[in-house]
């Protein structure tokens, strides 16, 4: 396939940035999207030009690093996949493909397609954990019975990979889907009850402090989430928050 790539190039956080056009020839439909970018970068390096900076790590849909817009859609045209799981067979010969970084005040661009998502880390630090006695007297998790529905729902929430597509797709740059997944995975389990009140209050406070917008129930986050995280988690987090506010 022959393609035209239009890629956002930005030297650093202060640079204004611009779209730069790159023609690509002989692209195999069996390549992954990131392999196609690898080929482009090797070509740029061979020509003595600066390669396109983009985040990636696992390349199998579990780390959440490969976050970018492809033709205006978070993680590209396929649903329930990350960019690293996207293949060039999803495009056709002659296509023009726009590739851009996430756009959100709380995710400032560092370089080219790489944004700073450390706001998510700080939200996690604010409460996305449980405290367990690890002195050797830790209770075996299997000795605490949990009904299957709650276990499955908690597991589904825990599949959030922190990619940020929900924020980038939201007209308000809201992080509610991400934060609600992180709250829900503990709210549904007995292990999460001890710190439940502080967790939801602190995580929501940190989310607001980081400059994420409010949720207006548009639902774009759920549609674009590569892990199918449900809006039901937002409703659960709102209930948790209301109850914690009365207790706290
Ligand atoms: S909720 Fe979905 S889109 Fe948002 S960070 Fe988690 S996996 Fe990514
Ligand atoms: S590189 Fe890890 S999810 Fe894409």
Q: Specify the DSSP class assigned to residue 48.
A: T
27: pLDDT strictly greater than 90: yes
Q: Which of 79, 164, 176 to mutate to test the pocket of ligand 1 (most atoms within 8 A of CB)?
A: 164
How far is the centre of ligand 2, averaged over its atoms, from the C-alpha of 34 (Å)? 10
Q: Which atom of ligand 1 is nearest to the CA of 177?
A: 1
* 166-222 residue pLDDT tens: 999 999 999 999 999 999 999 999 999 999 999 999 999 999 999 999 999 999 999
Report the separation in Å between the CA atom of 161 and the middle of ligand 1, taken as the mean of its atom positions.
6
Which percentage of the chain shows pLDDT scores above 90? 93
* 132 alpha carbon – ligand 2 mean position (Å): 29
Domain that holds residue 27: 3-111
**What H or E segment, with its residue span, contains residue 208?**
helix 196-209
What is the predicted pLDDT for the residue at 233? 98
Q: What is the pLDDT of residue 141?
A: 78
Contact at 8 Å (CB) between 92 and 2? no
- In the reported structure, the alpha carbon of residue 64 is separated from the centroid of ligand 2 by a whole-number distance in angstroms of 5
Per DSSP, 131 falls in state -
DSSP 107: S
Same-domain check for residues 70 and 39:
yes
Query: Ligand 2: distance of its center to the CA of 163 in Å?
Result: 9
What's CA 149's distance to the chain center, in Å? Answer: 25
**Total number of domains in the chain:** 2
> 191: domain CATH number?
1.10.1060.10
Same domain as 85, residue 7: yes
Q: Is the same domain home to 99 and 170? A: no
Q: Is the predicted pLDDT of residue 125 greater than 90, yes or no?
A: yes
In contact, 213 and 173? CB cutoff 8 Å: yes
Confidence at 41, pLDDT banded by 50, 70, 90:
very high
Q: State which ligand 1 atom lies nearest to the alpha carbon of 64.
A: 8
In sequence order, the β-bridge partners of residue 115 are 109
How confident is the model at residue 138, as a pLDDT?
A: 81
Q: Is the residue at 139 inside a domain?
A: no
**Looking at the domain assignment, is residue 136 inside a domain?**
no
Of 156-165, 208-217, 239-248, minimum mean pLDDT range: 239-248
Residue range 72-83: mean pLDDT, rounded: 97
pLDDT score of 78 more than 70: yes
Q: What is the pLDDT, as a whole number, of residue 248?
A: 65
Residue 5: pLDDT above 70?
A: yes
In a domain, residue 157? The reply is yes
Residues having CB closer than 6 A to ligand 1 are 160-166, 177-178, 181, 225-227, 229
Share of the chain above pLDDT 70, in %: 100
What is the distance in angstroms between the CA of the first residue and the CA of the last residue of the chain?
60
Q: Are residues 64 and 96 in the same domain?
A: yes
Nearest to 231 by CA among 189, 164, 179: 179
The mean pLDDT value for 121-131 works out to 96
Query: Do both 103 and 156 map to the same domain?
Result: no
**Is the pLDDT reported for residue 134 higher than 90?**
no
Q: pLDDT for 89-119, tens place per residue?
A: 999 999 999 999 999 999 999 999 999 999 9
- pLDDT of 135 reads 84
**Minimal-distance CA residue to ligand 1 atom 6:** 160
Element (H, E) at 155: helix 148-158
Categorize the per-residue pLDDT at 139 as very low, low, confident or very high, splitting at 50, 70 and 90.
confident
The answer to whether position 215 is within a domain reads: yes
């Amino acid at each position: 396939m022959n393609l035209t790539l239009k890629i956002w190039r930005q030297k650093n956080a202060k640079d204004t940035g611009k779209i730069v056009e790159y023609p690509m020839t002989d692209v195999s439909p069996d390549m992954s999207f990131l392999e196609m970018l690898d080929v482009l970068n090797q070509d740029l390096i061979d020509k003595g030009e600066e390669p396109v900076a983009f985040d990636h790590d696992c390349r199998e849909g579990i780390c959440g690093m490969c976050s970018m817009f492809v033709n205006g859609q978070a993680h590209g045209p396929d649903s329930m996949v990350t960019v690293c799981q996207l293949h060039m067979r999803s495009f056709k010969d002659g296509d023009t493909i726009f590739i851009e970084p996430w756009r959100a005040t709380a995710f400032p661009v560092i370089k080219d397609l790489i944004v700073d998502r450390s706001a998510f880390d700080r939200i996690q630090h604010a409460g996305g954990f449980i405290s367990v006695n690890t002195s050797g007297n830790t209770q075996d998790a299997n000795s605490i019975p949990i009904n299957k529905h709650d276990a499955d729902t908690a597991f589904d929430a825990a599949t959030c990979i922190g990619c940020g597509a929900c924020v980038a797709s939201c007209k308000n740059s809201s992080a509610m889907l991400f934060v609600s997944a992180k709250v829900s995975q503990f709210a549904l389990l007995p292990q999460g009850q001890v710190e439940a009140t502080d967790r939801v209050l602190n995580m929501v406070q940190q989310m607001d402090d980081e400059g994420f917008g409010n949720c207006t129930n548009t639902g774009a986050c759920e549609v674009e989430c590569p892990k199918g995280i449900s809006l039901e988690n937002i409703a659960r987090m709102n209930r948790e928050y209301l109850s914690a506010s009365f207790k706290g």
